[in-house]
Amino acid sequence: MQSTLDGPKVAPKSGAKPQQLVVFLHGYGSNGDDLISLAPYWADLLPDAEFVSPNAPFPCEMNPFGGYQWFGLEDRNPATKLAGTRAAASILDAYLDEALKSRGLDESKLALVGFSQGTMMSLHVGPRRATAPAAIVGYSGALIGAEALAGELKSKPPVLLVHGTADPVVPFQAMAAAAQALQACGVTIETLARPGLPHSIDPEGLRRGGQFIHQNFS
């Protein structure tokens, strides 16, 4: 386990000190190099943002050589998944606190962007932080432990969920279920269905995600 998270970074395109921080959270079995590749697509829209993409804290049980996981999936019992999410959340929260502090930024300058398991982490951590991040963008993910959210919610960050209708890994229906649970807690939600898209991010989802972050930073 990594007690402190680390991974690739892309400095602001403006060349100045970062005024915003976009944190990418990768999927199961991947690593930070995966989502940091999205940074160039958003650099013109977010020229003052630094992009960081930490590796998840645990070596992946299915891909221990270069792959990481936020929590294990060998036991898919909902209680086990929620416990794993909580364990990773404490590590991620500490990382976010330090990342903001070291850059002199507050939560209003933070955006969380997740893919698959990284979306699950974003949706767990974001609403449980004392002050809401500026935005959460979740691709191809789900909400873990929806029944626990209402009692643990501390803030209401705006959320955009994007999901392909042909996703064979995380069912497309997970987007509607997450949106319903978050809306029930008073969280502002937007959803974008991508017809025929499998477990992936397409250009339209990428474009809308960048717009959503830009709007909420503004």
Residues designated catalytic? 116, 167, 199
- Look up residue 56 and give its DSSP letter: P
The span from the CA of 195 to the CA of 86, in Å, is 32
Residue with tokens 């209402």: 150
Q: Quick one: 75 exposed, middle or buried, by C-beta within 10 A (0-12, 13-18, 19+)? A: exposed
From 152, 108, 112, 132, select the one nearest 19 (Cα to Cα): 108
> Sign of the C-alpha dihedral, residues 206, 209, 210, 211?
positive
CA dihedral (68, 74, 75, 81) in degrees, to 10, reads 20
Q: Within 10 Å of residue 90's Cβ, how many Cβ atoms?
A: 11
The span from the CA of 182 to the CA of 189, in Å, is 7
